Amino acid sequence: MFKDGEQPAITIRVENISDQPREVRMESLAPTLLANKKAQGIWSPADGASMAVITRAALWNGGSSDARMQGRNDTWSWKVESPKSLEQKTALGPKSFLEIRLSFNLPPNEYDFLAGYGGGVHAGQCIASNLVAFDVKPDKTAVNVAVPGR
């Protein structure tokens, strides 16, 4: 996470909780960022109060850590800060973990972040991270928001 008043950034921690080695495929791990569409009067086909501004973009991008997404009228971008280079596949030993830090450049709004792991909508069981909520202020710094029930 980040401290209030800093640029928004998230650390995704992938853990192997088993007693067997596992492989993490970076093309199956992806961030999702939802924004409050009513806060900016944005039209969206989504029928709820939020819309996906970062979705369907896996962490694997040929190993590049360049910024990933840009919208038509606003920019919602993210960048892999660490590790500096990602491998397409990463082996995780028993009881070990991998941390990937993402930073964001976002317009002011209310946001919810989660990461998902799986082979796509038709590939069977997928795993989602905990939800992280934060607001971005006009100066592009962020404030953490408590998620009810957590």
Q: Do residues 85 and 9 lie in contact, with contact meaning Cβ atoms separated by under 8 Å? A: no
Which CATH number among 3.30.70, 2.20.70, 3.30.160, 2.60.40 corresponds to the domain 9-145?
A: 2.60.40
User: Rounded to 5 degrees, what angle do the CA atoms 27, 111, 66 make?
Assistant: 40
Rounded Cα gap, residues 83 and 105, in angstroms: 18
Structural domain spans, the chain: 9-145
| Residue ranges in the chain whose pLDDT is less than 70 | 39-47, 61-74, 119-124, 148-150
The pTM score is 0.81
pLDDT of residue 42: 59
* pLDDT tens digits along 23-66: 988 888 888 999 987 755 556 666 677 888 888 777 776 655 45
pLDDT for the residue numbered 13:
93
**Would you state the pLDDT for residue 87?**
84
